Structures are given as structure tokens and as C-alpha cells.
């Protein structure tokens, strides 16, 4: 790590961010689910109503990884939090500490913003990631299951709700 830095992403990084998203999707064997485009990234990370943020790790001015996150809120601790959506380091740069530096950067951000939690999900088969997170003191949330409604189901329910209320 001769010349390592972490920088906030800019609108000029949308193509790079998309490449990282495709990289993590490939690693997770979920490439078929990627609907992200540079335009969507620009809108949601840098637009007037941005809902997420991104940091990029550079070594010798070469982008080696990224973390994409957004803020949430915990009613139980009554504080804001950070949800880490994606943390990805290019395969040829793994094992060099870049992922740890990205995560610790977010830890520092959470601390500075007085967040009560920093949370993320990890696929249960991803043993290297699980070992990495646990080595930093992260704990799995036993007894919790992630639920999700996709865009199609959201639309169906919203339309059904509208028709019932009219």
C-alpha cells in the first residue's frame, strides 16, 4: 500500500461503480439480477434526492475496491445507522488489507455521525467474508431472517391498495 487512499465517489465514477457492482454480482453468482446502469447510479448517488453514498479505494491511483452504503435509523437505539450494501475488492487485490481499510473507513464515518449501528448482510456460503467480518468483531444476528419484496410485488400491492381505497 505505497500510495493508498479512500475517496468519496463523484459523478464521474458512475462507470467504475457499475463495474464494481457487476464484479460483486459475478462473485456472488447473481449477475443475472443486475439492473444497475450508470444513469440510475448517477440519479441515486449524486442526484438532487441522493439516497446512498459510495467510497472508492485507490492504490497508486488505481481503483481497487469500493463500498456503497446508505443511512438508516434504529428505533431501539434511537439513533441513525449505516447499512453497508456492498463491499468489494477486485480479486487480484484481495488479501492486501483494502477491504479492511474500506470497512474501517465506514466505522469511522459511523462513529463521527454518532451512529448506533453499522450493519450488512452476507451470503451464508461466503466463508471468506464471514471470517473477515468476524475477525473484526462483527457478530451475526441469530434468529433474524431477511425478507424482501421485489419491485414487481411492490407494484402489485400498491396498485391493489390504491384500487381498494378508491
The CA-based dihedral angle spanning residues 52, 54, 34, 19, taken in that order and rounded to the nearest 10 degrees = 160
Q: Enumerate the β-bridge partners of residue 6.
A: 57
How many Å apart are CA 121 and CA 141, to the nearest integer? Answer: 10
3 state DSSP class of 35: coil
Given the residues 27, 73, 133, 147, the one annotated as active site = 133
| Helix, strand, coil share (%) of the chain residues, nearest 5 | 45, 25, 35
List the grid coordinates of 42: 448517477
Positive or negative, the CA dihedral 158, 160, 164, 166 is: positive
- Taking only Cα atoms into account, the Rg of the chain, rounded to an integer number of angstroms, comes to 17
Active site residue 133: yes
> Where in the sequence numbering do the catalytic residues fall?
133
Amino acid at each position: 500500500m505505497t500510495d493508498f487512499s479512500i475517496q468519496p465517489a463523484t459523478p464521474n465514477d458512475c462507470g467504475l461503480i457499475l463495474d464494481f457492482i457487476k464484479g460483486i454480482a459475478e462473485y456472488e453468482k447473481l449477475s443475472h439480477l443486475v439492473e444497475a446502469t450508470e444513469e440510475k447510479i448517477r440519479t441515486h448517488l449524486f442526484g438532487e434526492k441522493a439516497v446512498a453514498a459510495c467510497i472508492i479505494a485507490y492504490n497508486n491511483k488505481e481503483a481497487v475496491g469500493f463500498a456503497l452504503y446508505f443511512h438508516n435509523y434504529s428505533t431501539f437505539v434511537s439513533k441513525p445507522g449505516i447499512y453497508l450494501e456492498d463491499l468489494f475488492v477486485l480479486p487480484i487485490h484481495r488479501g492486501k488489507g483494502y477491504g479492511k481499510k474500506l470497512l474501517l473507513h465506514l466505522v469511522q464515518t459511523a462513529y463521527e455521525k454518532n451512529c448506533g449501528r453499522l450493519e450488512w448482510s452476507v451470503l451464508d456460503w461466503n466463508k471468506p467474508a464471514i471470517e473477515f467480518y468476524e475477525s473484526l468483531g462483527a457478530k451475526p444476528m441469530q434468529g433474524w431472517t431477511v425478507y424482501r419484496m421485489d419491485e414487481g410485488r411492490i407494484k402489485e400491492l400498491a396498485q391493489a391498495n390504491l384500487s381498494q381505497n378508491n
